[in-house]
Amino acid sequence: MLLTACGSGTGSPTSVRAARQSPSPAPTAAPSATPPSQGTLRILTFRGYMEWGGTDPRLNWVSPFERESGCRIARQESVQTAEEMERHLREGTFDVVSAPPEVAGWLIEKERAKALDTSQVEGYDDLPKHLRHLKAATRGDKVYGVPFLWSAFELMGRGDRPTSWRQLFTGGRVALKDSPMSIAIGALAMRDELGIADPFQLSERQLEQVVKAMRNDGQVYWKDTVDAIESFVAGGDKRAVLGQMFPYHRELLTKTGGSVRAAKRLPTTASADMWMMTTSATSPTCGYRWLSHMNSAKVQEQAAAWTGMAPANARACDGKARRMCAIHPAGEALRDVHFAVMPAKDCKAHDGKCADYEAWTRAWRDLVKPKDGS
């Protein structure tokens, strides 16, 4: 199983290792006896989101798309992190992208995201309202992204059940996701003290104070499931005792005999990755067919079970992804979940101008850089 990034992403350690080295599919010949199409697609995605049978022959939702749509995938690039994805978008041209919130915001801000006609995305209106109305996917009445997979962070620890995000920043060996968006977890820990209403809308002063409070010499940083799991199974003083983790990580550790517990009903953040079409798309019909295909319950059931994330399409919860749906927040629990959106200057800060994502990125890099002598 493979990780996103961004934001999110999960997967079994074995399959993550295999997929880190798995090849991308070669462009295929245009299939015969298929519906008319406008041609080809160039797709940028997180690892594990676009399986064609190369990692496991039982996992293939790309070939059926080509066969049934009449569209051909001419190019596929897979990345591990949001930073890698943004770099690929700066350097290359793609038709559709599985964007995490920070990349979605960047595409919209740079006017590189195409506003979608959601009537052309099959099943869009059946998606849960809270996912259709994500701030990261919309601007006013315009929709730019179709939610695909999502996951919410939880505070996980060994021994006694943890009770507060502040415990991550008070010493000891702790594991954090290596992303500027993790600053929002620190914002939740400090929200009463600093008057923070939205963990993704921080003034410059709030950002500075949150990052200062997050400093802890015992922190380790993970990018994918392998890193996250290894931080909790490492030997001696290298083993994390607390972590900002995904529910699937707890599942894996519990299955392998790890004694870990998650905090109950803490306010938290979540990241939803979404399929977007760029303004460079040369085959809009194929783009909409791809968005419809990836929005189907059949595909999302497979993708959620493979990655350990929750599907956006609730009908996907009836099959292989049932357990992934069960371990993620639902119903009233979603009231405590803040879905990520790219931090921007044009927001309402408690005490001045908001800090944008570039400021968050600079602050994060300063936080995680190796200390002198380490």
**Residue of 256, 257, 175 whose CA lies nearest to 218:** 175
The strand pair at 337-339 and 268-277 is best described as: parallel
Structure-token match 């079994």, residue found: 12
Name all domains of the chain by residue range, CATH numbers in brackets. 13-151+270-335 (3.40.190.10), 153-267+339-368 (3.40.190.10)
CB-CB contact of 144 with 104 (8 Å): yes
Tokens of 195: 């008057």
Q: Which residues pair with 311 in a beta bridge?
A: 149
**Residue of 217, 221, 289, 270 whose CA lies nearest to 31:** 289
pTM as predicted = 0.89
CB-CB contact of 35 with 278 (8 Å): no
CB-CB contact of 201 with 347 (8 Å): yes
Strand, helix or coil for residue 52: strand
Query: pLDDT tens digit string along 19-76?
Result: 343 444 444 333 333 455 459 999 999 999 999 998 888 899 999 999 999 999 999 9
Query: pLDDT tens digit string along 243-255?
Result: 999 999 999 999 8
Per-residue pLDDT 10s for the chain (374 aa) are 333 333 344 443 333 443 343 444 444 333 333 455 459 999 999 999 999 998 888 899 999 999 999 999 999 999 999 999 999 999 999 999 999 999 999 999 999 999 999 999 999 999 999 999 999 999 999 999 999 999 999 999 988 999 999 999 987 899 999 999 999 999 999 999 999 999 999 999 999 999 999 998 889 999 999 999 999 988 777 789 999 999 999 999 998 877 899 999 899 999 999 999 999 999 999 999 999 999 999 999 999 999 999 999 999 998 899 999 999 999 999 999 999 999 999 887 667 789 999 999 999 999 998 764 44
CB-CB contact of 261 with 157 (8 Å): yes
Q: How far apart are CA 113 and CA 118, in angstroms?
A: 14
Q: What are phi and psi of 109, to 5 degrees?
A: -60, -40
The strand pair at 174-177 and 219-222 is best described as: parallel
